[in-house]
Amino acid sequence: MAKNKKQKVKRPKALPPRGFRDYFGAEVTERNEMLGKITDVYQRYGFDPLETPAVETVEALGSFLPDVDRPNAGIFAWQDEDDAWMALRYDLTAPLARVYAQFRNDLPTPYRRYAVGPVWRNEKAGPGRYRQFYQCDADTVGTPTVAADAEICGMLSDTLEAVGIPRGDYIVRVNNRKVLNGVMEVAGVLDSADLSKFEAERGIVLRAIDKLDRLGPNGVRALLGDGRKDESGDFTGGAKLSDEQADVIMNFMDARRDTGGATCARLRELVGGSDMGLVGVQELETIAELTDVQGYGADRLLIDPSVVRGLGYYTGPVYEAELTFEILDDKGRKRQFGSVAGGGRYDDLVKRFTGQEVPATGVSIGVDRLLAALREKGRMDSRANGPVIVTVMDRDRMGDYQTMVAELRNAGVRAEVYLGNPKNFGNQLKYADARNSPVAVIEGGNEKENGVVQIKDLALGAALAANITTNEEWKAQPAQMEISRADLVAEVGKMIARADG
């Protein structure tokens, strides 16, 4: 009789879900440092922090994402045990609208808040495109004046420079949804008396314009018509506009001129007799005037009709920060880095809860994109972020080593005792290198008796090692020095300062 084969244990794959990734030490540290710089600017402008849950009801979030063909219209949603539908937030603005509607009688008007945290979108994953990412928002709720929009644009410019993007490497581009609505009214795809008419067509037009940088004019034109087939063979249905209607939209996208005034003049021509469009043009002119008197000239801020923003809740001015320097893509081709932040006015979002219009405007910075940009420019260096490593020469003297670490920590120095197998000293130094440690501390029995310790400048040692050929040269290198045990904290501090400098 054949023996039963032992059933193989099915083990889970050690992989994250598609479209998600893990973030390790240096990446998390870099993000936290950047968030600190961004929120410092937000605080300086008078915004207060707000933290909301990662989960909201689907009803509260609303359906404003452009990925209408994705499951759950682009969100991660599930039905709770009380039959209510819940979802992970897809941005930080929709939760703000819920908060303001709930606590409006207790909050100041206008209410100025900033928020930081991860958001989730059930969108098609791809290289460098993840379904979870960090945003850092600032919003003003309760004021209709476009001075608030102008302030956001100026603050966005200041924030980019604060995190290390110099002038000339970015531009804040500004448009107005009212202008675009006026153009669509002229094109016959918007009826101001019945906004529900042509709603599907308008959504396709908005998404098509928003893809101009990626698809080019021909790709957008195809989406305004019958549709477009991409390189993989996937077909995206179009708005089915006539050639004459598509011409109006394409002329709008090509309306940018050398100056903001000339661009606004061209937009006035395109919106024709649309009252909504003319109001939008006037708002753009006001934003240009207010930012110009504060020193935000054309090298930092630009009126650009091609800016749309994909979210469906914008009602007025919209803005987008674009990095203008070139990088190489996966195929070695030069391209501009692209958008890292955007926002706009959303006067109807709170109205969904209260029935009353509450004007609001704000901006969202894509932190992961901004970090990637700084890495491309070589402006991220986490070498000094590692801890000082106190090595273990005698496991029976662990108390002595822990005392050293405590002294360093109490002085504000990040430090740790090596807690692996201390038998192989070389492995301790390899561990220090793997941790990007700036300094290693060594105290054997002889050092203990003489009241001294050895401290090793790991960064300098690595630089010198490439040119050292003999043992005598190694012993003479300045990367390792003997100091008094009493001077440990002071000398380690000096060594770290040299490494950071």
3-class secondary-structure state, position 233: coil
Which domains are seen in the chain, by residue range? 25-376 (3.30.930.10), 388-500 (3.40.50.800)
Cα distances (angstroms) measured from residue 22 to each of 28, 78, 431: 10, 24, 21
φ/ψ of residue 141, rounded to 5 = -115, 130
pTM of the full predicted structure?
Answer: 0.80
pLDDT at 474: 46
Q: Which residues contact 239 (CB under 8 A, 6 or more apart)?
A: 189, 201, 202, 204, 205, 208, 223, 224, 225
Q: Are 163 and 37 in contact (CB under 8 A)?
A: yes
What is the spatial distance between Cα 234 and Cα 144, in angstroms, rounded to a whole number?
42
> pLDDT by residue (tens digit) across 114-142?
999 999 998 887 777 789 999 999 999 99
What φ, ψ does residue 319 adopt, rounded to 5°? -140, 155
pLDDT of residue 397 exceeding 80, the answer is yes
Task: Write out pLDDT tens, residues 334-357.
Answer: 677 788 999 999 998 899 999 999
pLDDT in tens, 195-230: 778 888 888 888 888 788 788 889 889 989 888 888
Q: How far is CA 326 from CA 169, 323, 338, 339, 365, in A?
A: 9, 9, 9, 13, 20
Closest by CA to 109, choosing from 66, 148, 51, is 148
